[in-house]
Amino acid sequence: MLEKSNLFLKNINNLNNQGKKGSQAPVDDILDSTLRPKDWENYVGQDKVKQNLKVIIEAAQQRKESPEHLLLYGNPGLGKTTLAYLISQEIGADIRITSGPALERSGDLAAILTNLTEGSVLFVDEIHRLSRVVEECLYPAMEEFKLNLILGKGPMARIMELKVPRFTLIGATTKLASMSSPLRSRFGATFGLNFYTLEDIQKILTRSSRLLNVEIEDPALSIIAKTARFTPRVANHLLRRVRDFAQVRGQGIITKDSAQNSLQSVEIDESGLTNNDQRILEALIHKFAGGPVGLKTLASATAEEEDTILDIYEPYLMRLGLIALTPRGRVATKLAFEHLGLKPPSRLL
């Protein structure tokens, strides 16, 4: 049994070394690190969330404890990862990054937890996608800072207890309802991130343009902000695309005309709707007479996955008032008909 235990610990150490090499890559893909705010002052928006987090952090510091586990939820690109970085920076702790799908087995979790330092932060993105086995293994780690691992099978199986350093788990999810109740209940505080205001998006774009060393005129800034879907990540992505067009086809300065031409080239209209958004509206109006229509039917008609419509397209279309949800399904509003240049039916007038 001792030999098996040593072999198990050796495998964990090997996984630790592998985790060090690949833990940062997903974050680099999500957001250019040069544009990520490095302090609270430069993190625009989400004021209530920031205020509550600062209180939790300050209270924990006064007690000389690690902050309790935190859960952040909201649509993609609203700043959940950035908040995790700011929290770790505020408490002066190391941060390890992983995601729910990356933790397939309990050994994967053990590899990360046993490699943490005292008081560090573990950020798990897409935490709603944790496997049941990993999730159940995580419970004692969150509550008692220990791992109960099963060695062997059948009558010879033994439970091995490993102590892990005290840490703060920060979970992020776009689907809060998909998380199990036992996992949600183990977080000390849960915060929802909302869509940003147009004013906040303009502030973010102003800061990003300065960091990218690109000159942008106010009318162009307003155009990009209006098409950013109230989401900082989208705003920064659009800014980089517009900058590329201005650099290659213009004088390097983002003007109103260059911004409009750039967005037209990538097929984004003045309201920030993409071709896929337009296709959903057109299907809803032309194929189903404006609805109501169910999600499954709409997904089949547009060749889109149900989750994609539910998580990516629908929230923005609803925020613009182009579609509405009813007990019978989705319906196109008067604004949707007008956006497509169509006369609304008499029932909507």
- Rounded Cα gap, residues 302 and 289, in angstroms: 15
Q: How far is CA 17 from CA 11, 140, 158, 161, 182, in A?
A: 10, 24, 26, 21, 31
Structure tokens at 303: 């060749």
Question: Which of 183, 190, 165 minimizes the C-alpha distance to 68?
Answer: 190
Quickly count: other Cβ atoms within 10 Å of residue 310's Cβ. Answer: 14
- Rounded Cα gap, residues 192 and 173, in angstroms: 10
Q: Which of 36, 80, 243, 330 is catalytic?
A: 80
CA 315 to chain CA centroid, Å, is: 14
Q: Would you call the peptide bond into 292 cis, given omega within 30 degrees of 0 as the criterion?
A: yes
Look up residue 5 and give its amino acid. Answer: S
For the question of residue 274 being annotated catalytic, the response is no
CA 41 to chain CA centroid, Å, is: 21
- Rounded Cα gap, residues 116 and 96, in angstroms: 8
- In eight-state DSSP terms, residue 247 is H
- Rounded Cα gap, residues 29 and 43, in angstroms: 20
Residues 289, 290, 292, 293: what is their CA dihedral angle, to the nearest 10 degrees? 80
For the question of residue 81 being annotated catalytic, the response is yes
Where do we find the tokens 């008032």?
Answer: 321
For the question of residue 153 being annotated catalytic, the response is no
Question: Which of 127, 147, 145, 152 minimizes the C-alpha distance to 137?
Answer: 147
- In eight-state DSSP terms, residue 305 is -
Strands 95-99 and 120-125: parallel
For the question of residue 297 being annotated catalytic, the response is no
**SS3 state of residue 329:** strand
For the question of residue 174 being annotated catalytic, the response is yes
Q: Which of 186, 229, 233, 243 is catalytic?
A: 233
Q: Which of 96, 98, 108, 125 is catalytic?
A: 125
Q: Which of 36, 81, 98, 302 is catalytic?
A: 81
Which residue numbers are catalytic? 80-81, 125, 174, 233
